């Protein structure tokens, strides 16, 4: 699927360059993730984990991206960005991906698990002893929590929560009042585990499990005494889940968001999943009930929620079926046992996560909390998770009498509740908590420490491409940058003043900030490289990010490429710029790297002649990041640090022939195949190997 944007050439002509469809590009990304689940060389539990990741990604895709397409189908729209045609194309592509998932689950993964003595036993395959145990489990643990609802005028269709497990049943015979109401709904509580391990006494040497859906399915008849259970199916509804709060019309954003969270589970229906054997009668009934078109129906050959199968990984607990544990080394630029403030006076420190540990950042904050000369700590929080050692340190800083100011982004998608709870906790103990700027998400990641040194105050800062979430620091590739550079820290101080007081932003020294400068500065930098190339200078741009969908930035890249600049784009997810289209993007190449760790670094490299600049950023090249978020991009000034980031974050990925995919002009991706498998280079594997020899022994001795 293509959209169009006009890119004007120097001649004054305005040919139309076709751009790729963003939603289809997101689905294509998930195809690349699913490829990991298909690889026989990947440990079995990790294959299952990738399968579940795709399902989780698809859930979020439908929750966030599908509603306009569904609305267009309902309205019969034939023109505009969202139409009946766009809905049909998207539904077809999603169905193909879902079908691949379940074929992999049934035909490859489950047989492979059986060879390992691990089995999810269906009702038809259970022996008598197993059936007796399942019946006892149903009676003791499940049935007391189920409340079947027979539908009639006084019992309308119950509210079905987003992504919850439910059963629909068609009943024969008459109810207790002599009526022939034939439809009943059974809502399955979320508190019940979706997988249950059977005891060893009836499993033997095998590890046998039963799914909750099969337990309920086997005993549906017992929920409707006196009625005959005919047709039935499990079903799961996905709802539009973007929180919609008019920030200009609320007095307390935190209160409004907390109220909005209560309604998120009951937004507009966008997708209906049912068992493959669900009858036409029941599926039509459900589609009508939720006002969904036929193509919003997904018939699946297995559990309607593959995401919950991640429980199997913990239940089995077989390390030999998982990746070898990765133990990040302590940051190589940090001397254990020495003050980080003193080390930063000698130069900046760069930490490449997760190959190096986030412990260096925690140590930076811990030292600040316990140092009596530290007067103030300021920090942004976008995603911190529900259990955070970092938050405990901030709480301790308040207890020790330091000025703590935290900018908490309450609208971080699907982390709203955790962030609200952190905000309330910090406020309750005396920290200053602000929520950024109305209408903008504060996506920037920064921490600023103010310390008294003699008669002066000196600032120390942390800037990052990733979040202050201890779990994701072990799973995402990111760069943390610790600095005492006076220009950078002065910019950070001005940004905190702006976010807290919403005063006019002071003139920046080095930092580019969205929504004020970042978009314009990037376009100016790209155009500068292009203009220099048109005068005969060599030009080079390499940019690594998670998504590229901003049309103005794409136009500038196309212009620069047409002027002779060689451009490599390493884009993990959605990218709507088609590379190597003859006459338009000949000099632009696009690749995606999908590995064991989630690629998350944003690195932008620009070279004109002998002059080169490197920026790290919190921002992807999307319109929302440039116009509707507080984002930062900042330079790496030290040549040695800059070269290290170029080597590890750009060059290594451009030479990857293990986990890389190259995009073709039509938007399709082809996996890069090494010419010599013995010499194959995987960027992530190489970085793991490089840092694995640098363990924490020095820190342990300190």
pLDDT in tens, 620-671: 999 999 998 889 999 999 999 999 999 999 999 999 999 999 999 999 999 9
Model confidence at 694, pLDDT cuts 50, 70, 90, reads low
pLDDT at 381: 83
- What are the pLDDT digits (tens) for 73-110? 999 999 988 999 999 999 999 999 999 999 999 999 99
Our count of domains for the chain comes to 3
Model confidence at 9, pLDDT cuts 50, 70, 90, reads very low
Query: Considering the domain boundaries, does residue 539 fall inside one?
Result: yes
Tell me: do 476 and 609 sit in the same domain: no
Neighbours of 396 (CB within 10 A): 15
- Name the least confident of 7-21, 447-461, 625-639: 7-21
Query: Considering the domain boundaries, does residue 112 fall inside one?
Result: yes
**Is 258's pLDDT higher than 70?**
no
Q: Name the residue with higher pLDDT: 489 or 81.
A: 489
- What are the pLDDT digits (tens) for 112-166? 999 999 999 998 999 999 999 999 999 999 999 998 988 876 678 888 989 999 9
Q: What phi and psi values does residue 426 have, to the nearest 5 degrees? A: -65, -40
Query: Considering the domain boundaries, does residue 67 fall inside one?
Result: yes
**Is 695's pLDDT higher than 70?**
no
Tell me: do 352 and 492 sit in the same domain: yes
**Which residues are annotated as catalytic?**
443
Instruction: Decide which of 440, 474, 506 is a domain's last residue.
Output: 506
Mean per-residue pLDDT, 563-567:
97
Tell me: do 390 and 467 sit in the same domain: yes
- Name the least confident of 153-157, 299-303, 453-457: 153-157
* Residue 355: closest CA among 7, 23, 685: 685
- What are the pLDDT digits (tens) for 187-209? 999 999 999 999 998 988 899 99
pLDDT at 265: 58
Tell me: do 384 and 529 sit in the same domain: no
- What are the pLDDT digits (tens) for 305-320? 999 999 999 999 999 9
Neighbours of 587 (CB within 10 A): 21
Instruction: Decide which of 506, 537, 563 is a domain's last residue.
Output: 506
Domain extent at residue 237 = 44-321
**Is 385's pLDDT higher than 70?**
no
pLDDT at 62: 94
Query: Considering the domain boundaries, does residue 226 fall inside one?
Result: yes
Tell me: do 456 and 551 sit in the same domain: no
Mean pLDDT rounded to a whole number for the chain: 89
Helical H segments across 39-83, by residue range: 44-65, 67-75
Query: Considering the domain boundaries, does residue 657 fall inside one?
Result: yes
Tell me: do 411 and 307 sit in the same domain: no
- Name the least confident of 38-42, 179-183, 637-641, 648-652: 179-183
Tell me: do 223 and 316 sit in the same domain: yes
Tell me: do 649 and 521 sit in the same domain: yes
Query: Considering the domain boundaries, does residue 146 fall inside one?
Result: yes
Residue 552 · residue 519 · CB < 8 Å: yes
Residues in a beta bridge with 617? 633
Percent of the chain with pLDDT over 70: 89
pLDDT at 266: 67
Q: What is the CATH number of the domain that holds 594?
A: 3.30.870.10
pTM: 0.90
- What are the pLDDT digits (tens) for 469-486? 888 899 999 999 999 999
Q: What is the CATH number of the domain that holds 114?
A: 3.30.1840.10
Tell me: do 349 and 281 sit in the same domain: no
Instruction: Decide which of 321, 349, 380 is a domain's last residue.
Output: 321
Tell me: do 544 and 497 sit in the same domain: no
Distance, CA of 505 to CA of 498 (rounded, Å): 6
Tell me: do 358 and 445 sit in the same domain: yes
Percent of the chain with pLDDT over 90: 72
Tell me: do 53 and 140 sit in the same domain: yes
**Is 8's pLDDT higher than 60?**
no
Crossing angle, helix 359-370 and helix 389-399, to 10 degrees? 10
**Is 505's pLDDT higher than 50?**
yes
- Name the least confident of 117-131, 251-265, 387-401: 251-265
Query: Considering the domain boundaries, does residue 401 fall inside one?
Result: yes
- Cis peptide leading into 44, omega within 30 of 0? no
């Amino acid at each position: 699927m293509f959209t169009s944007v006009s890119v004007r050439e120097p001649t004054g002509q305005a040919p139309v360059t076709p751009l790729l469809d963003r939603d289809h590009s997101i689905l294509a990304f998930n195809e690349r993730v699913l490829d990991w689940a298909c690889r026989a060389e990947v440990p079995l539990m990790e294959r299952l984990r990738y399968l579940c990741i795709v399902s989780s990604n698809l859930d979020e895709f439908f929750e966030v991206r599908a509603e306009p397409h569904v609305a267009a189908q309902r309205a019969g729209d034939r023109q505009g960005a969202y139409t009946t045609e766009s809905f049909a194309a998207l539904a077809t592509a999603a169905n193909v991906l879902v079908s691949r998932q379940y074929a992999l689950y049934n035909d490859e993964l489950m047989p492979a698990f059986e060879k390992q003595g691990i089995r999810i036993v269906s009702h038809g395959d259970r022996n008598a002893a197993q059936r007796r145990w399942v019946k006892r489990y149903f009676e003791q643990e499940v049935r007391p929590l189920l409340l079947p609802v027979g539908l009639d005028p006084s019992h309308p269709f119950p509210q079905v929560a987003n992504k919850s497990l439910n059963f629909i049943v068609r009943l024969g015979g008459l109810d207790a009042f002599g009526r022939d109401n034939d439809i009943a709904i059974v809502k399955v509580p979320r508190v019940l585990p979706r997988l249950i391990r059977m005891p060893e006494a009836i499993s033997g040497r095998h590890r046998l499990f039963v799914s909750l859906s099969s337990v309920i399915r086997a005993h549906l008849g017992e929920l409707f005494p006196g009625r005959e259970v005919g047709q039935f199916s499990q079903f799961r509804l996905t709802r539009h889940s973007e929180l919609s709060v008019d920030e200009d019309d609320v007095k307390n954003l935190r209160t409004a968001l907390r109220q909005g969270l209560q309604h998120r589970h009951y937004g507009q229906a966008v997708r209906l999943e049912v068992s493959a054997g669900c009858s036409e009668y029941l599926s039509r009934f459900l589609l009508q009930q939720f006002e969904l078109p036929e193509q919003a129906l997904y018939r699946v050959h297995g559990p309607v929620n593959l995401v919950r199968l991640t429980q199997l990984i913990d239940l089995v607990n077989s390390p030999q079926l998982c990746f070898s544990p990765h133990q990040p080394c302590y940051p190589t630029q940090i001397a254990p046992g020495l003050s980080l403030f003193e080390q930063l006076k000698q130069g900046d420190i760069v930490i490449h996560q997760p190959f190096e540990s986030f412990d260096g950042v925690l140590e930076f904050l811990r030292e600040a909390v316990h140092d009596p000369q530290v007067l103030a700590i300021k920090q942004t929080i976008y995603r911190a998770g529900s259990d955070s050692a970092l938050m405990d340190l901030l709480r301790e800083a308040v207890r020790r009498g330091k000025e703590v100011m935290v900018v908490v982004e309450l609208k971080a998608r699907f982390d709203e509740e955790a962030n609200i709870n952190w905000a309330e906790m910090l406020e309750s103990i005396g920290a200053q908590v602000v929520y950024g700027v109305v209408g903008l998400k504060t996506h920037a990641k920064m921490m600023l420490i103010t310390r008294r040194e003699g008669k002066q105050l000196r600032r120390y800062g942390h800037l990052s491409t990733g979040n202050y979430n201890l779990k994701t620091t072990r799973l995402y590739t990111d760069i943390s940058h610790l600095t005492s550079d006076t220009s950078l820290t002065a910019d950070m101080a001005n940004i905190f003043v702006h976010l807290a007081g919403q005063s006019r932003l002071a003139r920046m020294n080095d930092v580019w900030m969205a929504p004020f400068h970042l978009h314009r500065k990037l376009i100016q930098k790209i155009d500068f490289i292009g203009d220099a190339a048109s005068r005969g200078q060599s030009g080079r741009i390499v940019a690594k990010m998670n998504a590229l969908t901003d049309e103005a930035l794409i136009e500038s890249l196309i212009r620069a490429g047409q002027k002779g600049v060689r451009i490599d784009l390493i884009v993990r997810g959605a990218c709507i710029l088609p590379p190597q289209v003859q006459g338009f993007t000949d000099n632009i190449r696009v690749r995606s790297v999908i590995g064991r760790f989630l690629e998350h670094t944003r690195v932008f490299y620009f070279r004109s002649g002998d002059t080169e600049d490197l920026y790290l950023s919190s921002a992807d090249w999307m319109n929302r990041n440039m116009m509707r978020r507080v984002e930062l991009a900042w330079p790496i000034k030290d040549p040695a640090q800059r070269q290290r980031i170029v080597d590890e974050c750009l060059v290594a990925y451009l030479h990857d022939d293990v986990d890389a995919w190259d995009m073709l002009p039509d938007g399709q991706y082809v996996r890069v195949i090494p010419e010599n498998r013995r010499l194959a280079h995987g960027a992530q594997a190489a970085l793991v190997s490089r840092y694995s020899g640098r363990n924490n022994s020095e820190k342990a001795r300190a």
